[in-house]
């Protein structure tokens, strides 16, 4: 039995359903730690937003970064995005209770395509929107507007789970309830407070 006021649960991917710790990834792969600067750069955000391909990102790297090594790095990210099992269980629980479930994620096209081949949980969603499709990234308002309009969702009927507070604040501007994901137990507790889970 679902809560009368909410109909939709929207999930981010990175650090919500899939674990992503770039520093751990670089250390594990024995890659240069200064690649972190690229992950946090405008260049990477432009890649997420679908305006640059993987090859174009590599071509535009400043000279202090080894392009061949960074290309290798990008090719290895998707297999290292491991499912967070407890969050996937929450996904299945809310589905069983009758809620519609959606993905809203900052992600470049190539990584999305790779993840589709690695995981089968994507088939459980009623809709998905990625930054490369929207040509905008969270927390830009356009990406939230597009999700709501494309799937004909009402903000006040929706809950968004994301690991970044600024993305939640942007969603709240559209009337969407937000949960900043810190860990699965905390998300479960907040969904219980909202009468989504028992």
Q: What is the pLDDT of residues 78-118, one digit of tens each?
A: 999 999 999 999 999 999 999 999 999 999 999 999 999 99
Residue 3 has pLDDT above 90, yes or no: no
Q: What is the pLDDT of residues 158-193, one digit of tens each?
A: 999 999 999 999 999 999 999 999 999 999 999 999
Cβ 122 vs Cβ 113: under 8 Å: no
Round the CA-based radius of gyration of the chain to a whole number and report it. 17
DSSP for 53-101 reads -HHHHHHT--TTS-HHHHHHHHHHTGGG-EE-HHHHHHHHHHHHTT-EE
pLDDT of 105? 98
* Lookup: tokens for 165: 């507070």
Nearest residue to 74 via CA among 64, 59, 95, 96: 59
Cβ contacts of residue 161 below 8 Å, gap of 6+? 9, 10, 11, 12, 16, 178, 179, 181, 187
The C-alpha atoms of residue 22 and residue 37 are separated, in whole angstroms, by: 10
The C-alpha atoms of residue 42 and residue 35 are separated, in whole angstroms, by: 13
Q: What is the pLDDT of residues 115-157, one digit of tens each?
A: 999 999 999 999 999 999 999 999 999 999 999 999 999 999 9
Largest CA distance in the chain: 57
Residue 13 has pLDDT above 60, yes or no: yes
Hey, what long-range contacts does 68-74 have (CB within 8 A, 24 or more apart)? 69/31, 69/32, 70/35, 70/38, 72/31, 73/26, 73/29, 73/31, 73/35, 74/110
Q: What is the pLDDT of residues 57-85, one digit of tens each?
A: 999 999 999 999 999 999 999 999 999 99
Size of the chain in residues: 198
């Amino acid at each position: 039995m679902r809560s009368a006021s909410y109909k939709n649960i929207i999930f981010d991917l990175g650090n919500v359903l899939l674990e992503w710790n770039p520093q751990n990834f670089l250390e594990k792969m024995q890659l240069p730690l200064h690649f972190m600067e690229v992950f946090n750069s405008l260049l990477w955000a432009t890649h997420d937003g679908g305006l640059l391909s993987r090859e174009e990102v590599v071509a535009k790297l400043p000279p202090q970064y080894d392009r061949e090594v960074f290309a290798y790095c990008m090719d290895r990210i998707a297999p290292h995005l491991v499912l967070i099992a407890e969050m996937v269980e929450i996904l299945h629980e809310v589905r069983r209770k009758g809620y519609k479930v959606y993905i809203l994620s900052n992600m470049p096209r190539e990584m999305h395509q790779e993840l589709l081949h690695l995981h089968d949980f994507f088939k459980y969603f009623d809709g998905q929107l990625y930054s490369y499709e929207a040509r905008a990234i969270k927390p830009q308002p356009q990406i939230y507007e597009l999700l709501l309009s494309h799937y004909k969702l009402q903000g006040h009927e929706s809950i968004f789970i994301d690991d970044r507070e600024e993305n939640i604040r942007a969603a709240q501007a559209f009337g969407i309830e937000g949960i900043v994901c810190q860990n699965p137990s905390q998300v479960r507790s907040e969904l219980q407070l909202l009468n989504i889970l028992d």
